[in-house]
Structure formats: C-alpha cells, structure tokens
Amino acid sequence: MKKQLNLLLIIMLVALLQACGSGDPAEQAMKKVDTNSPNGAFLAMVQALKNNDVNAMMQSSMSPADYDKAVAEFEKAKSAPSESDKAQFAQTMGMLTGDGAVDKLMAMVSPQLEQARTQLPMLLMMGKGMVGPSIQSNPDIPDDQKESITKLANAFIDYASETDLVSEEITRKAITSAVNTAKSLDMNSLDELQNMSFDQAMGKASLVMGGVKDIMSVYGISVDDMLDSIKVSDVVETGDTASMKLAYEFFGESFDQTVKMKKENDKWVAAQ
C-alpha cells in the first residue's frame, strides 16, 4: 500500500492529466486512453483521479499481483480495527454528522482564527526558508523530483501569503464541505467496514477524495483545473521501462517533471 500512497501523492502534487473531449467525461475519457502505451497507462491513472475513482486508480496503477495483495491486506485489516481507532472514528463522525454540525464546529474554531491570522504570515515566511532544504534532504523524494516539488511548495506558500485562508467565510465553507462529505459516507462506526467488500470500501474512499477536492476548491485550489493543464511529451520506451516529460500550470506558475514507468506482466505501471 505504501507504493500506492506514494503514487497518489505524486499525482496530487504534480496534477497530471491530459484534457479529454466533450461527452460523458468519466466513461468516454477512459475509453479513449490506450493503456498499452506507458503514457496511456499513466493517463488512465490520472483520469481515475479526475473521476474521483480510487479503485480504478489502483487497478490502473498496479500490477494484478500488487492489486490482489492490496485487496488481501484490506480484508485482513478490516476484520479487527483497534478500539482506539473505532472510538476516534465514532467521535469524528459524530461531530461531522450531528445536528447543527457546521455551527458547532465554527464555534469551536472561531476563537483560533484571529490567532491564526496573526501567526500565519510568520509561519509562511519561515516555511519559505525551510521547505527547500527539507525537500532536498528527504531521502524518500527522488532526486529528479526535488526541484519541481520545491518550486511547487514555494508557489503554494506565495499563494497562501496573498490569500486570506483563515477568514470566517472560507472556514465555514470548508467545514460545510467536510460535513457534507461525512454525511455522504453514511457511516457511524468502523464496525460497518467489516461488512463491506473491497469495491464498496473503495467507493467510500472515492467520496472522501471528492470531498478533499471540494475543500481545496474552497481555498481557491482547483485540482481539476491543474489536471486539465497537463501536456505530455518526449515519451521514451527502453524495453520494459519508459519515461515521459510532463508540463502543467499551478498557481500561475509553469512546472515540468519526468515520470518513469515500468512494465510488469505486460502492463505498464508507475515505477515510483
């Protein structure tokens, strides 16, 4: 699952997608992607992200063996959630789905908003100086991605410095999106997970992914706009490995990155 989480992080950070034509966006776009090519296989992954389809993203990004392993790990993990996890889940869902949830949560966070407005500029300034060295020294980030991720992080810091991200209006909208997402899950206890199939659980995960994108949009960050800006070029295949150049727009800045793929059992999957 670590491999899959790393892939999701990469996709979310670099926002990789080629804009598809009109029609039924979810179904028609997937049909147009040639997954027999490395770039087509990658675009299938990010199209699944565009569609908020976690299961499809896993199927397109993982070899059949790795996917089956992920399903088996889920079946094992769902059978015995810890008591602390169950208590935390129940508490969180109770707060998000109870009567008057938005007003109650606003009452909880409002006293901290003024303090956040005072502290945020200093924190952002400190972050601007620390983010580069932190990324460069992180052994988990591939060397060929460090420059683009540093630029991306700095672009976000610049954006946050110019935007009132902790206003009461924006905070209420973000909380409302979180509440709506929680209610859409229609879950009160982790015990309910034990009766779900893997597909059903991934359906819930897809709702969460859509909710995260909605919350980001409240703060002026449109994941789908980033996805639509992608340009793919210079696809090079060498046996069972491949690389491609990606360019995209984010926060008014242009970014580029190299993505590597590998073939496993005649299927192209992410190399990272």
Q: How far apart are alpha carbons 142 and 43 in whole angstroms?
A: 21
Q: Report the 3 state secondary structure along 148-204.
A: HHHHHHHHHHHHHHCCCCCCHHHHHHHHHHHHHHHHHHCCCCHHHHHHCCHHHHHHH
* Contacts of 13 by beta carbon, 8 Å cutoff, 6+ apart: 149, 152
Measured between alpha carbons, how far is 121 from 129 in angstroms, rounded to an integer? 13
Distances (CA, A) of 244 to 139, 199, 262: 23, 31, 12
The predicted structure's pLDDT at residue 33: 61
Which pLDDT value is given to residue 227? Answer: 82
Structure pTM? 0.77
Q: Is 249 helix (H, G, I), strand (E, B) or coil?
A: strand
Nearest to 74 by CA among 51, 88, 58: 58
Lookup: tokens for 54: 């976690």
- pLDDT at position 8, please? 39
Question: What does the pLDDT look like over 237-263, one tens digit per residue?
Answer: 999 999 999 888 888 888 888 888 899
CA distance 17 to 232: 8
Structure tokens at 40: 């087509």
Domain extents in the chain: 2-81+222-270, 84-192
Look at residue 68 in the predicted model and tell me its pLDDT: 93
SS3 sequence, 104-124? HHHHHHHHHHHHHHHHHHHHH
Distances (CA, A) of 11 to 17, 81, 101, 223, 255: 9, 29, 32, 10, 13
By C-alpha distance, which of 260, 5, 6 is closest to 140?
6
Strand partners, 233: 245
What fold, for 2-81+222-270? Nuclear Transport Factor 2; Chain: A, (3.10.450)
Which residue stretches of the chain have pLDDT < 50?
Answer: 1-31
Instruction: Please report which residue ranges of the chain form alpha helices under DSSP H.
Output: 2-14, 25-32, 38-50, 54-61, 64-78, 83-97, 101-136, 143-161, 168-185, 198-218, 223-228
**Amino acid symbol at 250:** F
